[in-house]
Amino acid sequence: MELADFCVKYPFSKKAKELLDSENIQLSDEIVARGLERVKKALAGETSRSSAFHKSDKVDEVASYAAARMVLGYMRNRYLTNRFAVAEAKRANHYLSGEEATVVDEVAAEFGIVSSSTGGKLFVPIPTFVKFAPKSIDYKLINRNVHAGKVELIYREKIRLTEEAVKKRAEHIPIVKNAPESVKKAAEVLKAELPKLEPMKTITFKEGDNPPCIERLLEQVKKHENLNHQARWSLAVYLVGKGMGIEKVVSLYSNLPDFNEKMTRYQLEHIKKRGYTMPGCSTMLTYGLCCAECRIGNPLNWKSKEERMKWHKERENNA
């Protein structure tokens, strides 16, 4: 694979930085415009693919990644940054899934993800696995084969760890204070592209209406943090079980970095149609979502402050 082609696919790599340095690339209006389009596609939920043919175009596309990060560093908008990080991670996964093992190993090594083979099985050190494991029940150490300080995984899971590493790197963007005019203009364009509605205002819950596990999930959504499948599913079933309309739940979920309205609406309608029950506290504990000893059996059994006061009052009157 030619150097420019590698760098287009993996613009976060050391080779990409070396390429830009060797070509003496300076930040231009055109490169900033490319970076802007890169962020706009991420905001729209699109995973960009390279169509560059000539080397100069490839170099500019690599530079657009750096330009996008500069714009995001100037804006300091967590929602935009998270959307960008998710899109870049998915893009890397797409390319890695079609690469030879040597290329996957090279990209993974960028993040210290170095595997070893024993008895035909693939292993990575526990610290590496824990650092980059997705927040999913399938990647919890208790569910993995651990031997001699290493975790067994399959080839596809190594790519998944690398995807998560790309996301983490893309999320950490240095603050840019003295930005050039082209970056400031790009930031203004992106501000206009941001959702006008503040979805969290559609939530009518009061403080104490929900159990701690649900409150924590709602807070994560408010901060535009990504939720794993179990968390997303549990919160959706809970909200539907509480009688919240699908439109309000969709609005809430639009805060998530990888929000897909069509898929979200389909899953919510499926939950409502099939009448899925809320996972019990023991299951929430298994998912790693339990954060307090409420002893209520199921999050839907939680009573709000008003309900608890009413229950105590009725109990006193009947005594």
Give the residue, 113 or 228, on which the prediction is more confident: 113
Do 143 and 214 fall into the same domain? no
pTM attached to this predicted model: 0.71
Shared domain for 208 and 297, answered yes or no, is: yes
* CA 313 to the chain's CA centroid: 45
**Residues 33 and 187: beta-carbon distance below 8 Å:** no
Q: Are residues 302 and 220 in the same domain?
A: yes
Percentage of residues in the chain having pLDDT higher than 70: 91
| 64 neighbors 38 (Cβ within 8 angstroms) | yes
Q: What is the mean pLDDT of residues 258-281?
A: 87
Do 158 and 301 share a domain, yes or no? no
Q: What is the pLDDT of residue 200?
A: 52
Whether 154 shows a pLDDT value over 90: the answer reads: yes
CB burial of residue 209 (10 Å; 0-12, 13-18, 19+): middle
Tokens standing for residue 201:
């205002």
Q: Of 193, 228, 254, which residue sits at a domain end?
A: 193
Single-letter amino acid code for the residue at 207: E
pLDDT of 196 higher than 70: no
b/e for 169-188, b at 16 or more Cβ within 10 A? bbbebeebeebeebbebbbe
CA distance 276 to 273: 8
Question: How many angstroms separate the CA atoms of 63 and 237, rounded?
Answer: 43
Inter-residue contact 155 to 80 (CB < 8 Å): no
Considering the domain architecture, whether residues 16 and 156 belong to the same structural domain is answered as no
Are 143 and 16 found together in one domain?
no
Structural domain of residue 133, as residue ranges?
Answer: 101-167
pLDDT classification of 261: cutoffs 50, 70, 90: confident
pLDDT digits (tens, 9 = 90+) for 300-312: 998 876 665 655 4
In this prediction, residue 120 carries a pLDDT of 86
Residue 316 has pLDDT above 80, yes or no: no
Same domain as 82, residue 66: yes
Identify whether residues 314 and 232 lie together within a single domain.
yes
Shared domain for 216 and 180, answered yes or no, is: no
pLDDT value at 278 more than 80: yes
Domains identified in the chain, total number = 3
- Say yes or no: 300 and 227 in one domain: yes
Q: Which of 122, 149, 167 is the last residue of a domain?
A: 167
Q: Which residues, in sequence order, are CB contacts of 75 under 8 Å at separation 6+?
A: 187, 190, 191
Task: State pLDDT tens for residues 65-79.
Answer: 999 999 999 998 888
* Residue 93 sits in the same domain as residue 113: no
Looking at residues 98-121, what average pLDDT do you find?
94
Verify that 142 and 54 share a domain, yes or no.
no
The first and second tokens of residue 265, run together, are: 């609406």
CB-based burial, 236-274: b 16+ in 10 Å, e otherwise: bbbbbbbebebeebbbbbbbbbbbeeeebeebbeebbee
